[in-house]
Amino acid sequence: MSKSWMVRAERDGRLFDAFKEKSAVAIGWNEVGDLSDKKTRKAIADLVTTAWPEMKPQAAAMAAGQLHRFVNEIDVGDMVVTFNPSRRVYLIGEIVGPYRYDTSVDPEDAQYRPVRWHGEVSRDLLSVESRNSLGSISTLFRIPTEVAAELKKALASGQPATIEIAAATTEATEDDLFKSMESRAREFIKDKVNALAWDDMQELVAGLLRSLGYKTRVSEAGPDRGKDIVASPDGFGFESPRIVVEVKHRKGTMGAPDVRSFLGGRHPQDKGLYVSTGGFTREARYEAERANIPLALMDLDELVKSLLEQYEKLDLETQQLVPLKRIFVPGWS
């Protein structure tokens, strides 16, 4: 029976596009070298402890375990999933070849498996249980059978396919458990933000700017000539800095033409902020880098990061758009 695996494209999804374009998944720990002839966990563990003698024993065991799984336990025909936190989509495919040591995906991630990708599934189509199960911060982990079935049904139908999910357990250090809790909580906050109506999303961005000391003017519904919000010290846009904001709250990614259109209506003294909850293409980010005015692109991941950093400074109306509760967990030294 085939198995199902999550291989993270780094925690920020940095390698997602590379995985997709190169038809592969890859993980790091390059210092252990080519593991093609290492068939046991102990043999790999010995290489890990040699490469990183200062690593704590439990962390070294986890690294060795993940490498062993990637090299020896993942089989041709197994399902593989990776996640783009910016676009909030899971990319689903199938392992189509054996392990090899190959830096073609990324110089820092040379442990390589070839993949045939089948398509993407929006995180919104999955049950809360599945989203929670897929929220582990581990680089590599096995996906429960029920979660894999839900992903496959959602891929085939494009519709929610709720299935009763059993609780999943993974090996983890205390540090990893706390980081996992934080990561899962952040993903659920992103779910809440993404579920906002388009006008509430504008108000959320405006509230975030107010928490940074600006006064804001939010455009009425209808044609806005490339600006949804104007933020400035005086609130009218007469005093510098004048930040012009475009907010796109949709599933599709914004491309280079969208960025060029936004830039076309700007004055030389303007600063630009383009918010897209659907993310940006690589070409759009290149376009922003060479813009003739300072321009920042903010996807959903970056929006929520800023929201959490500024949450206590937000006005009450903005906090009510995304109500959050503070919790405390044991600390460690």
Query: Strands 4-7, 79-84: parallel, antiparallel or unpaired by DSSP?
Result: parallel
Task: Answer whether residue 42 shows pLDDT above 90.
Answer: yes
Distance set, CA 282 to CA 18, 121, 198, 297 (Å): 11, 20, 24, 11
CA-based nearest residue to 48, from 59, 115, 131, 7: 59
Task: Answer whether residue 162 shows pLDDT above 80.
Answer: no
Its pTM stands at 0.69
CA-based nearest residue to 200, from 75, 303, 76, 301: 303
What pLDDT shows up at residue 182?
Answer: 76
Residue with the bigger pLDDT between 110 and 165: it is 110
What pLDDT shows up at residue 136?
Answer: 77
Task: Answer whether residue 209 shows pLDDT above 70.
Answer: yes
Query: How many CA atoms lie within 13 Å of 160's alpha carbon, on the beta-carbon side?
Result: 12
Name the DSSP letter for residue 311: G
Mean pLDDT of 275-297: 94
Q: What is the pLDDT of residues 117-126, one digit of tens each?
A: 999 999 989 9
Mean pLDDT of all residues in the chain? 89
Confidence of residue 176 (pLDDT cuts 50, 70, 90): low
What pLDDT shows up at residue 46?
Answer: 95
**Residues 6 or more apart in contact with residue 241 via CB below 8 angstroms:** 232, 233, 271
* Most confidently predicted of 8-12, 131-135, 204-208: 204-208
Looking at the chain, the whole-number percentage of residues with pLDDT higher than 90 is 69
Name the DSSP letter for residue 241: S
Mean pLDDT of 93-101: 97
Q: What is the pLDDT of residues 222-267, one digit of tens each?
A: 554 456 899 999 988 888 899 999 999 988 889 999 999 999 989 8
